């Protein structure tokens, strides 16, 4: 799906809520209105929901709606950001919003007043008047989640606390007045968990970062995103194990824990958390390191409530070496790719390891959907690649990885293919490989010494060529972006994860994530095959995402993604049916091997010691 010219309503409804418009994801700036006003309703994400509701006559014109429309400068920062991630062009939506407001005013319209009740007055005494509201325009921006099992839920209030003590006072107020509440990170959970008919607590103002490089730690406030934290750490010569770039770090801890390709060396769960601060359901402030905090060693395989709102976390810093880089190792089968990744991790080789499917690779690398299809065709049909193992590390790690690999594609090859993508629709790589294949798979030819300059010449690999694939008015911006080496550098792309949100470009993503044992690579293949059959039965798209080995190759974390159009009622119903079937299938995986753990059982406990959930069958407390 892409932007729909002259159909701003359709474009507005297709917002994925990935919140990349709420951070400076491309180094081109961030929405000035959102940065100044903090509410999601002032960011492009919220404005998309508000405009859709206004055009469908689901909300009245209110004082906040007028202010939101007026505060948008039509600067266009979001247009490039959103196109880069999803292919959508939100600027047309905001022009329509401003035009509707102009017509309303020219027609003599008066905004509908919003009454203030006692509860709202109390909230404003805690946060300051601008940072608590009940205006329906603001409420609409906090009411929606694209997941097929969530329903529109309009809150009664939204509040933006500045610090932990304000959060504590707000929770105590809710408890005293009997008001239901939920806490929200940067976008949404994309599973409906952040919706509430009562109060939504938005932590966006809690943007504090304090480094203690002497003991290699950083204290992170609840309003800091993964990309913001990672950039600050990299500037100081360190790396943090982070998740999706726009996700708030503390919210990720409370959701499912932090995992990435770097988890192969950095671990997950408590491995990267030195301490954390929570406000519990009674408004008490507790710490992971204190006597009243949650027990990070406790784990049972069942849903568990959150210990409270995570307002700060002390996070481990990992030093960066100057000789770090990456290689890609192609494979024709999942079993072979998983076994190679497992062997690397078993030998403690690499800073980051990930088995990626060609669906992920094609989508991540390509700036537009049409080129994603070209990349997938290149990998599968032209080169015979079904899976790629990315290995991130220093020169010693990479030397060992090359020595163990049947074939290696170096960084320069990946860069040449990325910048030459538009030429893949012509003769491209086929003209180079013809007559050179020998008896091996074509990707072996691509890995031969001296192939990079041939590839660059045949594909006309350049920022200018890549930019030719996007809308004419965006080509100059894309040329500037891809002149930066970091935009085609495997290591940096995995550190900042700027392209990972592209996985939702073809539609909303429902991600199924499992911890799996790696002593039998066939288990990962079975999960992949059964999910493939599930999506096909239900008329949906889906594919294997990634697998990262953990625990010296004994376990791994696997993601499988299902895609759907959340604006199409028929696809939503298909998604609901598929998700119901998936619940039964997940239980079947556990019956097959009790070590297979669905991420849902770690939900609300991302601060837990990983050994407790990866080896829960060995815990004495779980003995029958």
The pLDDT value given to residue 616:
78
Decide if pLDDT at 258 tops 50. Answer: yes
Decide if pLDDT at 435 tops 70. Answer: no
Decide if pLDDT at 624 tops 60. Answer: no
DSSP state letters, 570-584:
HHHHHHHHHHHHHHH
Decide if pLDDT at 44 tops 70. Answer: yes
Structure tokens at 159: 């509040």
- How far is the C-alpha of 427 from the C-alpha of 350, rounded, in Å? 36
Q: 429 and 459 in contact (C-beta within 8 Å)?
A: yes
The pLDDT value given to residue 127:
98
Tell me the pTM: 0.95
pLDDT digits (tens, 9 = 90+) for 109-142: 999 999 999 999 999 999 999 999 999 999 999 9
The pLDDT value given to residue 430:
66
Nearest to 134 by CA among 18, 207, 17, 41: 41
pLDDT digits (tens, 9 = 90+) for 135-183: 999 999 999 888 888 889 999 999 999 999 999 999 999 999 999 999 9
Nearest to 13 by CA among 66, 60, 54: 54
Distance separating the N- and C-terminal Cα atoms of the chain: 51
The pLDDT value given to residue 191:
58
Residues of the domain holding 265:
209-319
Please report whether residue 381 resides in a domain: no
The 3 state secondary structure assigned to 253-300 is HHHCCCCCCCHHHHCCEHHHEEEEEEECCCCCEEECCCCCCCCCCCCC
Nearest to 255 by CA among 182, 171, 165: 182
Q: 111 and 61 in contact (C-beta within 8 Å)?
A: yes
Provide the pLDDT confidence category of residue 437 given band limits of 50, 70 and 90. Answer: low
The pLDDT value given to residue 359:
86
State the average pLDDT for the chain: 93
pLDDT digits (tens, 9 = 90+) for 455-493: 999 899 999 999 999 999 999 999 999 999 999 999 999
The pLDDT value given to residue 357:
93
Please report whether residue 365 resides in a domain: no
Please report whether residue 327 resides in a domain: no
The pLDDT value given to residue 147:
86
| For residues 323-335, average pLDDT | 97
The pLDDT value given to residue 248:
95
More confident residue, 257 or 282: 282
Please report whether residue 154 resides in a domain: no
Kindly provide the residue ranges of all beta strands, DSSP E only, lying in 194-250, ordered along the sequence: 199-202, 209-212, 217-221, 238-239
What's the residue count for the chain?
A: 624
Domain tally for the chain?
Answer: 2
Decide if pLDDT at 520 tops 80. Answer: yes
Structure tokens at 604: 């609300």
Provide the pLDDT confidence category of residue 256 given band limits of 50, 70 and 90. Answer: confident
Residue that terminates a domain, selected from 106, 136, 155: 106
Would you tell me how many other CB atoms lie within 10 Å of the CB of residue 460? 16
Please report whether residue 275 resides in a domain: yes
R_g of the chain computed on alpha carbons: 24
Please report whether residue 227 resides in a domain: yes
pLDDT digits (tens, 9 = 90+) for 594-614: 999 999 888 888 899 999 998
Coil, helix or strand at residue 13: helix
CA 165 to chain centre: 29
Residue 268 burial (C-beta neighbours within 10 Å; 0-12, 13-18, 19+)? buried
Decide if pLDDT at 23 tops 80. Answer: yes
Please report whether residue 259 resides in a domain: yes
Please report whether residue 250 resides in a domain: yes
Residue that terminates a domain, selected from 268, 295, 319: 319
- Which residues on adjacent β-strands are paired with residue 555? 517, 550
Nearest to 252 by CA among 609, 510, 603, 503: 603
The b-or-e profile of 431-445 (16+ CB within 10 A means b, else e) is ebbeeeeeeebbbbb
- Which residues on adjacent β-strands are paired with residue 549? 556
The pLDDT value given to residue 1:
44
Structure tokens at 612: 């407790």
pLDDT digits (tens, 9 = 90+) for 46-97: 999 999 999 999 999 999 999 999 999 999 999 999 999 999 999 999 999 9
Provide the pLDDT confidence category of residue 189 given band limits of 50, 70 and 90. Answer: low
- How far is the C-alpha of 247 from the C-alpha of 229, rounded, in Å? 11
pLDDT digits (tens, 9 = 90+) for 216-237: 999 999 999 999 999 999 999 9
CATH classification at residue 278: 3.30.465.10
Residue that terminates a domain, selected from 319, 334, 352: 319
Residues ≥6 apart with Cβ < 8 Å to 77:
28, 29, 30, 31, 32
Residues ≥6 apart with Cβ < 8 Å to 608:
257, 269, 270, 296, 297, 298, 299, 602
């Amino acid at each position: 799906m892409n932007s729909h010219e002259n159909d701003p309503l359709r474009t507005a409804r297709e917002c994925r809520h990935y919140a990349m418009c709420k951070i400076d994801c491309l180094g081109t700036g961030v929405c000035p209105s959102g940065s100044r006003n903090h509410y999601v309703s002032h960011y492009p994400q919220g404005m998309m929901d508000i405009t859709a509701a206004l055009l469908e006559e689901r909300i009245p014109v209110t004082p906040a709606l007028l202010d939101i429309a007026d505060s948008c400068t039509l600067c266009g920062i979001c247009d490039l950001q959103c196109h880069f991630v999803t292919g959508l062009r939100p600027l047309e939506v905001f022009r329509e919003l401003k035009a509707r407001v102009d017509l309303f005013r020219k027609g003599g319209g008066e905004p509908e007043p919003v009454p203030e009740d006692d509860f709202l007055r109390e909230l404003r005494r805690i946060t300051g008047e601008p940072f608590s509201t009940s205006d329906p325009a603001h409420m609409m921006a906090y009411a929606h989640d694209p997941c097929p099992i969530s329903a529109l839920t309009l809150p009664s209030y939204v509040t933006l606390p500045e610090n932990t003590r304000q959060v504590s006072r707000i929770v105590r107020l809710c408890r005293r007045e009997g008001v239901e509440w939920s806490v929200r990170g940067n976008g949404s959970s994309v599973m409906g968990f952040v919706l509430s008919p009562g109060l939504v607590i938005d932590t966006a103002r809690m943007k504090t970062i304090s480094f203690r490089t002497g003991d290699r730690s950083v204290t992170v406030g609840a309003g800091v995103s993964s990309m913001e934290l990672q950039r600050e750490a990299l500037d100081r010569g360190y790396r943090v194990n982070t998740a999706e770039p726009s996700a708030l770090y503390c919210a990720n801890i409370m959701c499912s824990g932090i995992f990435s390709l770097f988890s192969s060396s950095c671990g997950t769960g408590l491995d990267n958390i030195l301490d954390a601060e929570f406000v519990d359901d009674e408004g008490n402030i507790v710490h992971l390191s204190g006597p009243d905090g949650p027990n990070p060693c406790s784990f049972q395989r069942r849903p568990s409530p959150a210990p409270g709102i995570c307002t700060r976390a002390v996070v481990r810093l990992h030093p960066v070496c100057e000789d770090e880089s990456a290689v890609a190792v192609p494979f024709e089968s999942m079993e072979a790719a998983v076994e190679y990744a497992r062997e690397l991790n078993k030998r403690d080789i690499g800073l980051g390891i990930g088995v990626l499917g060609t669906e992920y690779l094609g989508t991540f690398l390509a700036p537009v959907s049409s080129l994603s299809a070209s990349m997938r065709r290149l990998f599968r049909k032209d080169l015979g690649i079904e899976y790629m193992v990315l290995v991130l590390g220093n020169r010693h790690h990479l030397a060992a990885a090359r020595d163990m690999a049947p074939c290696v594609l170096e960084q320069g090859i990946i860069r040449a293919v990325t910048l030459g993508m538009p030429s893949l629709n012509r003769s491209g790589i086929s003209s180079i490989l013809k007559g050179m294949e020998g008896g091996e798979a074509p990707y072996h030819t691509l890995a031969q010494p001296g192939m990079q300059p041939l590839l660059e010449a045949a594909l006309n690999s350049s920022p200018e060529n890549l930019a030719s694939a996007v809308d004419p008015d965006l080509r100059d911006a894309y040329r500037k972006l891809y002149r930066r080496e970091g935009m085609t550098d495997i290591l940096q792309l995995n550190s900042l994860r700027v392209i990972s949100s592209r996985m939702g470009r073809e539609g909303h993503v429902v991600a199924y994530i499992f911890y799996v044992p790696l002593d039998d690579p066939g288990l990962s293949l079975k999960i992949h095959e059964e999910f493939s059959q599930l999506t096909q039965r239900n008329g949906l798209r889906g594919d294997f995402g990634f697998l990262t080995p953990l625990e010296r190759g004994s376990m791994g974390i696997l993601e499988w993604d299902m895609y759907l159009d959340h604006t199409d009622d028929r696809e939503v119903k298909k998604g609901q049916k598929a998700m119901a079937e998936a619940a039964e299938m997940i239980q079947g995986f556990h019956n097959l091997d009790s070590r297979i753990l669905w991420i849902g059982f770690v939900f609300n406990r991302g601060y837990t010691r990983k050994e407790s959930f990866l080896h829960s069958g060995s815990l004495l407390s779980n003995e029958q």
